[in-house]
């Protein structure tokens, strides 16, 4: 089984391959955030495409599970005690079967989907 090689740049882990995005979402319940512009309509901002940016928690979980390897910059997360608490919470919620996204839009850390 091939382990996906992802890029780490400026502290962010990027996924630039659609097949890898599909694998992360279906096999690992990793959602991430699409941030790229659509090639057919690059000036619109309603729909985004690749690359997919992973939450630090998602990247750390995948590294811990040996599900990915990283190229590029060093990835050093969690660094602080608060980061470690967040990672513990993320792992617990992920282990309970939730899909987890950023919750900033609703004033929280995470948004959970069953």
Task: Using alpha carbons, select from 3, 1, 13 the residue that is nearest to residue 71.
Answer: 13
pLDDT given for residue 1 in this prediction? 59
pLDDT given for residue 48 in this prediction? 87
H/E stretch holding 82: helix 81-95
Report whether 76 contacts 70 (CB < 8 A).
no
**CA geometry: angle 71, 72, 75, nearest 5 deg:** 85
H/E stretch holding 13: strand 12-15
Structure tokens at 41: 């309509």
Would you give per-residue pLDDT tens digits along the chain (114 residues)? 589 999 999 999 999 999 999 999 999 999 999 998 877 777 777 788 899 999 999 999 999 999 999 999 999 999 999 999 999 999 999 999 999 999 999 999 999 999
Q: Could you give phi then psi for residue 90, rounded to 5 degrees?
A: -60, -45
């Amino acid at each position: 089984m091939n382990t996906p090689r992802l890029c780490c740049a400026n502290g962010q882990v990027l996924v630039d391959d659609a097949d890898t995005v599909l694998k992360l979402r279906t096999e690992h319940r990793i959602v991430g955030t699409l941030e790229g512009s659509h090639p057919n309509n690059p000036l619109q901002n309603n729909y985004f495409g690749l690359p997919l940016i992973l939450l630090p928690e998602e990247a750390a979980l995948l590294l811990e599970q040996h599900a990915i390897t990283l190229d590029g910059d060093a990835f050093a997360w969690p660094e602080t005690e608060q980061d470690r608490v967040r990672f513990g919470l993320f792992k617990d919620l992920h282990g309970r079967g939730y899909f987890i996204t950023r919750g900033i839009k609703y004033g929280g850390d995470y948004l959970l989907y069953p």
